[in-house]
Amino acid sequence: MEIIFYHPTFDTPYWIAQLSKQLPGANVREWKKGDNQHADYALVWHPPVEMLQGRDLKAVFALGAGVDSILSKLKANPEMLPESIPLFRLEDTGMGLQMQEYAVSQVLHWFRRFDDYQAQQQKSEWQPLADYHREDFTIGIMGAGVLGGKVAESLLAWGFPVRCWSRSRKTLPGVQSFAGTEELGDFLRETRVLINLLPNTAETVGIINLNLLNQLQDNSYLLNLARGVHVVEEELLQALNNNKLKGAMLDVFSREPLPQESPLWQHPRVVMTPHIAAVTRPQEAIAYIARTITGLERGDHVSGQVDRQRGY
């Protein structure tokens, strides 16, 4: 079995060594420009079109959870990957725990009013504030898939009321499920902390706009862990400045790195990280890919295949 690997920043020799170990009999090689030799599987992140185009592959694996970048490249170059070749993505592989850490730490930060105490400290002000109550701190998670489900579980464990919104109805124990555009308004109405874990698709671009933010509870918070294009950044600033939103924590931006001139950098109630909410953990990802390839070779049903029509 021949496997080609391409990632612009990963430690390629490590990946090749580990994949070879877990898939004995496979010949794993780094794809380099000009390599047109046969391959059965391709493991990729931001692949050059020529890496995939015209190949008789059994499957392609995206080396991350989101497949928006590869799908948008495919839109411009449909011949890069015919529909008959399945595209897989990473399901959790250690990202769920990272998302849980991120979400729990920030929700607790807001819930215990550490943002207010930080602002007071700037003014050398010693002033205990009234407690917030969990019943006024409903967490609403947009996107109840692999990562949204994990985040829901972790916040439930801290006693917060948790609800989720997705295309299809969910049955996550203890989580109130809302489904489809017709239930979005009801989902938002009680939400105090909105956490975004949607995929980037034609339907979700720009979904977090002023109209949506205005439907949240007053003094709400936004945690964007998914993609920058979900948020209309000027409208987010409006919602912060008119105090509909009390704070926002953003891991992702419509342009990355965030341009120096963006007002988000300096906003006193915005905190940010540089797209690190959950990164691909090589050990878990390699084990997952090896397991999936072994399953495919045996003809088993395996999970993780992207529905290209849905866009995730």
Ligand X SMILES: NC(=O)C1=CN([C@@H]2O[C@H](COP(=O)(O)OP(=O)(O)OC[C@H]3O[C@@H](n4cnc5c(N)ncnc54)[C@H](OP(=O)(O)O)[C@@H]3O)[C@@H](O)[C@H]2O)C=CC1
Ligand Y SMILES: O=C(O)C(=O)CO
Check if the beta carbon of residue 207 is closer than 8 Å to that of residue 230: yes
Catalytic, 275? Answer yes
Interacting partner of 225 out of ligand Y, ligand X, none (Cβ under 5 to 8 A depending on kind) = ligand X
Do residues 165 and 178 make contact, with C-beta atoms less than 8 angstroms apart?
yes
Q: Does 7 participate in catalysis according to the annotation?
A: no
> Considering only 40-48, 153-161, 163-171, 211-219, which stretch makes contact with ligand X by CB under 6 A?
163-171
Residue 163, Cβ neighbours under 10 Å: how many? 20
Where would I find the beta strands (DSSP E) of the chain? Answer: 2-6, 27-30, 41-44, 59-62, 87-88, 139-142, 162-166, 175-179, 193-196, 220-224, 245-250, 270-272
Q: Which is nearer to ligand Y, 185 or 274 (CB)?
A: 274
Q: Write the DSSP string, 239-264.
A: HHHTTSEEEEEES--SSSSPPTT-TT
275 binds ligand Y (CB under 6 A): yes
Token pair 């009234």 in the structure block, residue: 130
Contact with ligand X (CB under 6 A): which of 63, 193, 198, 222? 198
Q: Residues 131-160: x/- map of binding to ligand X (CB under 6 A)? A: ------------xxxxxx------------
Q: Which of 275, 281, 291, 308 is catalytic?
A: 275
| Whether residue 13 has a cis bond before it, omega within 30° of 0 | no
Among positions 47, 66, 96, 143, the unique one binding ligand Y when judged by CB under 6 A: 66
Q: Which of ligand X, ligand Y, none does residue 146 bind (CB under 5 to 8 Å by kind)?
A: ligand X
Q: Does 80 bind ligand X (CB under 6 A)?
A: no
Question: What one-letter code names the amino acid at 108?
Answer: L
C-beta of residue 295 within 8 angstroms of C-beta of residue 273: no
168 binds, among ligand X, ligand Y, none (CB under 5 to 8 A by kind): ligand X
Residue 65 binds ligand X, judged by CB under 6 A: yes
Residues with catalytic roles: 227, 275
Interface residues toward ligand Y, by CB under 6 A = 64-66, 275, 279
Interface residues toward ligand X, by CB under 6 A = 65-66, 95, 143-148, 165-168, 197-201, 203-204, 225-227, 251-252, 275, 277-278, 312
